[in-house]
Amino acid sequence: MAKIAINIATGSLQQNEVIVGIDLGTTNSLVAIIHPESKKLIAIKEHDSSSLVPSVIYFGNSNEVVVGEKAKEYLISNPAQTIFSAKRLMGKTYNDIRDGIKNFSYQIIDEDDKLVKVKVNNNFYSATELSSLILKELKKSAEHILKTPVNKAVITVPAYFNDAQRQATRDAGKLAGLDVLRIINEPTAASLAYGFGLSNEEEKIIAVYDLGGGTFDISILKIHNGIFEVLSTNGDTFLGGDDIDNGIVQYWLSKFKETANISQQQLRVLAEKAKKILSDTDNFMVEINGIILALSLPELETIIKPILNKTLECSKKALKDADLTIHQIDEIIMVGGSTRSPVIKKEVTDFFGKKVNDKVNPDEVVALGAAIQADILAGNTKDVLLLDITPLSLGLETAGGLMDVLLPRNTKIPARASRQYTTQKDGQSGIVISLYQGERDLVKDNRKLDEFILKGIPNMPAGFAKVDIAFLINADGILKVSAKELRSGVAQEILVKPQQNLSDEDVEKMLQDSIKNAKEDITIRALVEATTEAEQLLNTTEGFIQKNIHYLSQQELLSTSEALQALQLSLSMGDKNLIQLKMEELNAISKPYAERVMDLAVNSAMSGKKI
Ligand code: AMP
C-alpha cells in the first residue's frame, strides 16, 4: 500500500525539490516554505514588500490578466472587470450565493443550480479558473524569488469546505501547473505552525480563532498521535476587521459633524489606520482638510465590543457542537490580521480563561503550517506517522466521457465517499457504472478498473431517479462500490482492487501526464460540460414550447426559435464561451414567458381548489 511519502518511494522527488505551502485566502494569499538549504520556515516575499498577495484579478480590455497588488487598484476604477473574493464562489451554485449577490461588483451568471460562472468581457470563468490565476501568480513569483521551479504544493482550505469546494481547489492547483499533494484544513495548518501535532504526544484539544478582514471562523480540533480531527466549526462569512473600520467611520460621523465633508472612502482608510495604530498606542489623532479626527483606545474598545461578542457567540456554539466546555480547551490559536488588536486578544483570553497563542505572525501562520505539512510529505520530518493513502484518484464516468472523482488521490484510508446521480432518458431502466483510476479529466486517458450495471430501475421520467453511488475503500486497499436507486430500492455492488498490477512507475507517469495536460484537460472538461448543459437546455426549451405553444406570442416564438438555432450552431463550433453566451441569450428570452406560464398554471390550480 502506498504511503504519504510515496514520492520518495517512486523516486520522483529530486533532492532538495521544494514543496510549497499555499494559503489561498479570500482577501490575501501567500506562499511559505521550509528552505531546502537553511531549513528555515519562511513566508516568501520580495525584499521590503509584504508576503501577502491580494487575491484580486483584473481582466484588461484585451483580456490581459493582472493579479495581486496591481489588480487591487482597479477595484474602484473598473469594478466590473476586477474579481475579488473568488474563494467565496468555489464549489458554489448561483442559488447558494443568491442572497449575497449584491456584495459582488462583477457579473455572475444567474443559472440557479449550476456552478457559478463569472462573465467579464464576454468570457466566462469558473471559480476554479479564477483561483488558478491567483495560484499561477503565486507560483510564478515564488519561482522568481527562489530561483527554482515550483511544481508541488500543499494548499489550505477552511475546515468547513465540502468535497466540491476541495475538489475545485485541487483542480485550480492543477490548472496552475501545480501537483497538489494535499489539501489541508486552515486550522490544522495553524496548529502545525505552533508545533502542535508534530510528535505523538497525548491528546490535545485546540480552538483556532480566525478573525480576518471579512470573515470569522472558529474551529475546534482534537489532535491525537499526529492525527487532526475537526470536532466542530462555526463562524460568520461577513464579519471581520472591515466591520470595525465601518464602526469607527460611523462613530466619527456621529461625533464630529464636520466629517460629513470628507469622502467615505477617505474616512474608511483613516479608520483602518486608527485601528492599527491603536494596536500599539492609546490614542490616535489626525488632521484632514482642517478637521481633527481622534480616537482613544477605550472608544475603540466600545466599537469592537459588539463585533467581538458575535465571535464569542459563534465560539460558544462551536463548543456546544463539539460537546465540550471551555475548560476542556488546551490551547487557543490566533489567526487573521484582526487578532493583532490587543482588545481582541484580551477578550478571547478572558473568554477561554487561558492565554492565547499569538507568537506567530497571524497573517502567515496558515501558510507556514502548510509548508510544514509539505516538508512532512517530502519525507524530511521524521517521527511523523505515515498513513496509508490512495496513490491515484478513484471515480466514475459521467456524461460526455468525463471523470467524476469520488476519492481524490492522497485520501487517507479507510475512506468513504458517496454522490447522487440520476437518469438521462425517460424510462431508462439501467445505469452503466464504469470505474476508473487516474488524474485526467477524460476517462479515456485514465485506467479502467471495472464496470457494472444497476438494472431494474422502474419507469420514471429523465432526472427523476435518485441513484446513490458509494465508494468505500478499506484498510487493505479493497474498493467496494455500491449503487442504489433510492426511490425503488434496487441495488448492486462490486469489489475492485485498484492497486493490482499498478507499479510505482505507472503512478508516476499518470501524475506527470495530468500536470502536463492540465490546461487542455480542463478546457475539454469545460467544453464537454457546456455542451451537455446546452443540449439539456435545448431539450427542455423545445419540450416547453411544444407543451405551451398556445400561451406564447408570435414574437416570443420567433425569437426563441432564432435563439435555439444560434445555440445549436454554437455547439458545432466547439467554443465554450460562445455556447455560454448563446445559452444566456436563450435563457433571457425564455425566462419571462416561462415565469408567466408557471404563474398561470399555479393560478388555475388555485382557483380549482376549494379551500
Ligand atoms: P486578513 O484577512 O487575515 O488579512 O486580515 C485583514 C484584517 O486585519 C484587516 O481588517 C486589517 O485592517 C486587520 N489588521 C491588520 N493589521 C492590524 C493591526 N495591527 N491591528 C488591528 N487590525 C489589523
Test site for ligand 1: of 211, 303, 338, most ligand atoms within 8 A of the Cβ: 338
Can you tell me which atom of ligand 1 is nearest the CA of 214? 2
Q: How many CA atoms lie within 13 A of 529 on its CB side?
A: 16
Q: pTM value?
A: 0.77
User: Looking at 111, 129, 186, 439, which residue is catalytic?
Assistant: 186
Q: Identify any residues that bridge with 20 across adjacent strands, giving them in sequence order.
A: 153
Cβ 182 vs Cβ 377: under 8 Å: yes
Four-residue CA torsion sign, 294, 297, 303, 308: positive
pLDDT of residue 308 exceeding 70: yes
Residues 368 and 439 in one domain: no
Residue nearest ligand 1's atom 8 by CA: 337
Cα(105) to ligand 1 centroid in Å equals 23
Listed in sequence order, the residues at least 6 apart from 99 whose beta carbon sits closer than 8 Å to its beta carbon are: none
pLDDT of residue 272 exceeding 60: yes
Range with the lowest mean pLDDT among 174-188, 325-339, 352-366, 497-511? 497-511
Helices (H), 261-409: 264-277, 297-321, 342-352, 365-377
Cβ 211 vs Cβ 339: under 8 Å: yes
When pLDDT is averaged across residues 288-311 and rounded to a whole number, the result is: 94
* Ligand 1 pocket residues where CB is under 6 Å: 27-28, 212-213, 240-242, 272, 275-276, 279, 336-338, 340-341, 363
Q: What is the chain's alpha carbon radius of gyration, rounded to the nearest angstrom?
A: 27
Residues 150 and 251 in one domain: no
Q: Which DSSP helix (H) or strand (E) runs through 434?
A: strand 431-437
Range of the domain at 535: 520-606
Listed in sequence order, the residues at least 6 apart from 130 whose beta carbon sits closer than 8 Å to its beta carbon are: 57, 83, 86, 89, 118
When pLDDT is averaged across residues 415-427 and rounded to a whole number, the result is: 89
Q: Where do we find the cell 467615505?
A: 264
Residues 144 and 250 in one domain: no
Q: Answer yes or no: is 188 within a domain.
A: yes
C-alpha cell at 14: 529530486
Cα(213) to ligand 1 centroid in Å equals 6
Q: How far apart are CA 455 and CA 428, in angstroms?
A: 10
pLDDT of residue 610 exceeding 70: no
Q: How far apart are CA 373 and CA 5, in angstroms?
A: 11
Decide if 87 is catalytic: yes
Give the pLDDT confidence score for residue 14 in this predicted structure. 44
Q: How far apart are CA 67 and CA 133, in angstroms?
A: 7
300 falls in which pLDDT band (50, 70, 90)? very high
pLDDT of residue 27 exceeding 80: yes
Q: How far apart are CA 358 and CA 348, in angstroms?
A: 11
Can you tell me which atom of ligand 1 is nearest the CA of 244? 10
Q: Which of 323, 343, 377 is the last residue of a domain?
A: 377
Cβ 85 vs Cβ 72: under 8 Å: no
CATH number, domain with residue 572: 1.20.1270.10
- Could you tell me how many residues make up the chain? 611
Q: Answer yes or no: is 357 within a domain.
A: no
Q: Which of 286, 303, 320 is the last residue of a domain?
A: 303
Mean pLDDT of the chain: 89
Cα(76) to ligand 1 centroid in Å equals 20
Decide if 363 is catalytic: no
Q: Which of 303, 322, 337 is the last residue of a domain?
A: 303
Residues 42 and 125 in one domain: yes
pLDDT of residue 5 exceeding 80: no
Cα(336) to ligand 1 centroid in Å equals 7
CATH number, domain with residue 295: 3.90.640.10
Q: Answer yes or no: is 309 within a domain.
A: no
Listed in sequence order, the residues at least 6 apart from 24 whose beta carbon sits closer than 8 Å to its beta carbon are: 55, 87, 131, 134, 135, 155, 156, 157, 169, 172
Q: How far apart are CA 424 and CA 536, in angstroms?
A: 9
When pLDDT is averaged across residues 257-271 and rounded to a whole number, the result is: 86
Cα(391) to ligand 1 centroid in Å equals 39
E strands present in 79-139: 82-83, 107-108, 117-120, 123-126
542 falls in which pLDDT band (50, 70, 90)? very high
Cα(363) to ligand 1 centroid in Å equals 8
**Residues 39-84: pLDDT tens digits?**
899 999 988 889 999 999 999 999 899 999 999 999 889 999 999 9
pLDDT of residue 219 exceeding 60: yes
Can you tell me which atom of ligand 1 is nearest the CA of 335? 3
Decide if 242 is catalytic: no
Cα(250) to ligand 1 centroid in Å equals 19
Residues 123 and 160 in one domain: yes
Can you tell me which atom of ligand 1 is nearest the CA of 27? 2
Give the pLDDT confidence score for residue 48 in this predicted structure. 81
Test site for ligand 1: of 276, 334, 345, most ligand atoms within 8 A of the Cβ: 276
* DSSP state letter for 280: T
Residue nearest ligand 1's atom 1 by CA: 212
Give the pLDDT confidence score for residue 2 in this predicted structure. 38
Residue nearest ligand 1's atom 22 by CA: 338
CB-neighbour burial class of residue 49 (10 A; exposed 0-12, middle 13-18, buried 19+)? exposed
Higher pLDDT, 505 or 294: 294
Give the pLDDT confidence score for residue 4 in this predicted structure. 36
Q: Answer yes or no: is 497 within a domain.
A: yes
CB-neighbour burial class of residue 324 (10 A; exposed 0-12, middle 13-18, buried 19+)? middle
Residue nearest ligand 1's atom 16 by CA: 337
CATH number, domain with residue 50: 3.30.420.40
Residues 134 and 95 in one domain: yes
Strand 415-421's sheet: what is its strand order?
415-421, 467-473, 479-485, 491-496
**Residues 124-178: pLDDT tens digits?**
999 999 999 999 999 999 999 999 999 999 999 998 888 788 888 998 999 999 9
Cα(208) to ligand 1 centroid in Å equals 17
C-alpha cell at 38: 537553511
Q: Answer yes or no: is 266 within a domain.
A: yes
Q: Which long-range contacts (CB under 8 A, 24 or more apart) does 272-276 make?
A: 272/241, 272/245, 274/248, 274/300, 275/241, 275/244, 275/245, 275/248, 275/300, 275/341, 276/340
> At 450, is the secondary structure helix, strand, or coil?
strand
Q: Where do we find the cell 380549482?
A: 608
Strand 65-67's sheet: what is its strand order?
65-67, 57-59, 82-83
Number of structural domains found in the chain: 4
Residue nearest ligand 1's atom 15 by CA: 337
Q: Answer yes or no: is 562 within a domain.
A: yes
Can you tell me which atom of ligand 1 is nearest the CA of 28? 4
Test site for ligand 1: of 24, 28, 340, 361, most ligand atoms within 8 A of the Cβ: 340
Residues 24 and 159 in one domain: yes
Residue nearest ligand 1's atom 19 by CA: 276
pLDDT of residue 7 exceeding 60: no
Range with the lowest mean pLDDT among 3-7, 271-275, 490-494? 3-7
Residue nearest ligand 1's atom 23 by CA: 338
Decide if 186 is catalytic: yes
pLDDT of residue 12 exceeding 90: no
Q: Identify any residues that bridge with 364 across adjacent strands, giving them in sequence order.
A: none
Which DSSP string corresponds to 154-219?
Answer: EEEE-TT--HHHHHHHHHHHHHTT-EEEEEEEHHHHHHHHTTTTSS--S-EEEEEEEE-SS-EEEE
Give the pLDDT confidence score for residue 35 in this predicted structure. 87
Can you tell me which atom of ligand 1 is nearest the CA of 242? 10
Cα(339) to ligand 1 centroid in Å equals 7
C-alpha cell at 558: 420567433
Can you tell me which atom of ligand 1 is nearest the CA of 279? 20
Give the pLDDT confidence score for residue 9 in this predicted structure. 33
User: Looking at 87, 152, 174, 576, which residue is catalytic?
Assistant: 87
Q: How far apart are CA 352 and CA 315, in angstroms?
A: 10
Residues 298 and 443 in one domain: no
Give how far the C-alpha of residue 544 lies from the chain's centroid of Cα atoms, to the nearest Å: 35
Q: How far apart are CA 127 and CA 124, in angstroms?
A: 10
When pLDDT is averaged across residues 220-249 and rounded to a whole number, the result is: 90
Residues 574 and 500 in one domain: no
Residues 26 and 116 in one domain: yes
Q: Answer yes or no: is 429 within a domain.
A: yes
Q: Answer yes or no: is 354 within a domain.
A: no
Q: How far apart are CA 482 and CA 464, in angstroms?
A: 19
Residues 449 and 552 in one domain: no
Give the pLDDT confidence score for residue 16 in this predicted structure. 59
Cβ 434 vs Cβ 494: under 8 Å: no
**Residues 455-489: pLDDT tens digits?**
999 999 888 899 999 999 887 778 999 999 999 99
C-alpha cell at 209: 480563532
Residues 99 and 171 in one domain: yes
162, 204, 285, 302 from 296: Cα distances, Å: 43, 39, 9, 10
Residue nearest ligand 1's atom 20 by CA: 276
Cβ 54 vs Cβ 27: under 8 Å: yes
Q: Which DSSP helix (H) or strand (E) runs through 224?
A: strand 216-224
Cα(366) to ligand 1 centroid in Å equals 15
User: Looking at 111, 171, 210, 245, which residue is catalytic?
Assistant: 210
